[in-house]
Amino acid sequence: MRSSLRDSSPRHYLMCPPTHFGVTYSINPWMDPAKPVDLPLAMNQWKDLRNRYRALGHTVELLEPRSDLPDMVFAANGATVVDGRVLLARFAHRERAGEAAAHLDWFRTNGWATIHEPSHINEGEGDFAVTASWVLAGRGFRSSPLSHGEAQEFFGRPVIGLDLVDPRYYHLDTALCVLDDAADEIMYYPDAFSPGSRAALRRIFPGALIAREADAAAFGLNAVSDGRHVLLPPAAVGLYGPLRERGYEPIGVDLGELLKGGGSVKCCTQELRR
Ligand code: ARG
């Protein structure tokens, strides 16, 4: 038990309102086009997340939603930004392919000069997680293993490849969350990874917070931390106590409508690291 709360640091996020959100196709096991989506509710839940970031002192920039791209609300997938360098996404499914161009336009218009348009498939921060020492990189469902070398070359940071084996946790950010990027502290759900990747995670992060199945299934690892405040789904009840014990302040944000698309807090949030 830590006696004091941790310090947060101001963050810069990119989000996209769910104006045209919908589940019109299925590219992950959570998506069922037969289940209706309450769009006004989705919008209110998304606004709640955006407002909380702003209330915590973070900057939120907005991407213009496009009517032909119902998954665009999941802005984390459009790029990975480290040290002001933008590694654009290249989507695995044609349904989302157009999102890459929308992100590219946004970065160009907003003065980001160093942008890499990738040769290999990578779904942005869906599969890349950044700590002070490493870039953790998921593969198995969406991002190509070849994108890991491409990311290492572009960022000049060591990339650790991790094999995802459970289709419910198809992106790294559904199974692993960086809690303190300066101190390399993470939480994750071991069963989402292959035995070798699990062993590698244990070796690199011996003190990690280990999530249980019920909390992972509630998208508890699809969380965003500023070093102190951890925004996560309220249903991931088992994570709140362990987070508090470590000096974090968990904040529940219900994105239940967006869960129908297979995403939650982190999926809606791309971090822009200068
Ligand atoms: N429906 C989207 C897809 O399957 C959800 C993306 C969730 N985003 C994330 N960062 N995990 O691609």
Q: What is the CATH number of the domain that holds 151?
A: 3.75.10.10
**250 within some domain:** yes
Catalytically annotated residue among 16, 171, 229, 268: 171
- For the whole prediction, is pTM greater than 0.90? yes
Q: For position 2, what pLDDT does the model report?
A: 81
Which tokens in the block code for residue 173?
């950010």
Cβ < 6 Å from ligand 1: which residues?
27-28, 31, 71, 74, 76-77, 96, 126, 171, 173-174, 261-263, 267
What is the per-residue DSSP string for the chain? --SSPPPP---EEEE---TT----S-SSTT--TTS---HHHHHHHHHHHHHHHHHTT-EEEEPPP-TT-TTTT-GGGGEEEETTEEEE-B-SSGGGTTHHHHHHHHHHHTT---EE--SS-B-GGGTEEE-SS-EEEEESSSS-THHHHHHHHHH-S-EEEEEB--GGG-SGGGTEEEEETTTTEEEE-GGGB-HHHHHHHHHH-TTPEEPPHHHHHTTTTS-EESSSEEEE-TT-GGGHHHHHHTT-EEEE---HHHHTTT--TGGG-EEB--
Q: For position 3, what pLDDT does the model report?
A: 74
**1 within some domain:** no
What type of residue is 207? Answer: G
**7 within some domain:** no
Say yes or no: ipTM exceeds 0.85: yes
Q: For position 145, what pLDDT does the model report?
A: 98
Q: For position 196, what pLDDT does the model report?
A: 98
Catalytically annotated residue among 16, 177, 267, 268: 267
**4 within some domain:** no
Q: Which domain holds residue 18?
A: 12-271
Mutate to test the pocket of ligand 1, among 46, 90, 142, 267 (most ligand atoms within 8 A of CB): 267
C-alpha 138 – ligand 1 centre gap (Å): 13
> Which atom of ligand 1 is nearest the CA belonging to 77?
10
**169 within some domain:** yes
Q: For position 265, what pLDDT does the model report?
A: 98
Is 93 labeled as catalytic in the residue annotation?
no
**3 within some domain:** no
With a cut of 50, which residues of the chain have pLDDT below it?
none
Is 268 labeled as catalytic in the residue annotation?
no
Q: Rounded CA gap, 37 and 120, in Å?
A: 33
**100 within some domain:** yes
Count of domains observed in the chain = 1
**6 within some domain:** no
